[in-house]
Homo-oligomer: A and B are copies of this chain.
Amino acid sequence: MTKKAVVVLSGGLDSTTVLYLARQRGHEIYALTFDYGQRHRIEIEHALEVAKGIAAQHKVLKLALDQIGGSSLTSDVEMPNFDSVDQIENKVYSTYTPFRNGVFLSYALAYAEVVGADTLFMGPNKDDFHNYPDCRPDFYKCFEMVANIGTKFGAEGGKFKIEIPLVDMYKPEIIKLGLSLGVDYGKTFSCYDPTPEGVSCGKCMSCNVRISSFTKANLCDPINYQTKK
Copy number in this complex?
Answer: 2
Q: Output the least CB separation between A105 and chain B (Å).
A: 8
A99: which B residues are within 8 A, CB to CB? 106, 109-110, 113, 147, 150-151
Interface residue from B67, B98, B105, B150 paired with A61 (Cβ < 8 Å): B67
Query: Is the pair B92, A146 in contact by a Cβ cutoff of 8 Å?
Result: no
Which residue of B is nearest A114, CB measured? Answer: B70
Query: Is the pair B109, A150 in contact by a Cβ cutoff of 8 Å?
Result: no
Q: Is A219 an interface residue (CB 8 A)?
A: no
Stretch from A9-17, A48-56, A152-160, A189-197 forming part of the interface with B: A152-160
Q: Is A62 an interface residue (CB 8 A)?
A: yes
Q: Mark A118-158, 1 if CB is under 8 A from B, else 0.
A: 00000000000000011010110011011101111011100
Interchain CA distance A102-B152 in the complex, whole Å: 12
Interchain CA distance A109-B97 in the complex, whole Å: 11
Q: Is A65 an interface residue (CB 8 A)?
A: yes
In this complex, the member of A103, A114, A150, A151 whose beta carbon has the largest number of chain B beta carbons within 10 angstroms is A150
Query: Is the pair A146, B142 in contact by a Cβ cutoff of 8 Å?
Result: yes
Interface secondary structure of A, over-half rule: helix
Q: Is A101 an interface residue (CB 8 A)?
A: yes
Query: Is the pair B134, A139 in contact by a Cβ cutoff of 8 Å?
Result: no
Interface residue from B68, B107, B142, B152 paired with A114 (Cβ < 8 Å): B68
Q: Is A216 an interface residue (CB 8 A)?
A: no
Q: Is A223 an interface residue (CB 8 A)?
A: no
Interchain CA distance A138-B151 in the complex, whole Å: 12
Q: Is A100 an interface residue (CB 8 A)?
A: yes
Query: Is the pair B107, A103 in contact by a Cβ cutoff of 8 Å?
Result: yes
10 contacts between A and B (CB under 8 A): A62-B64, A65-B110, A68-B114, A99-B150, A102-B106, A103-B107, A139-B149, A139-B150, A143-B150, A146-B146
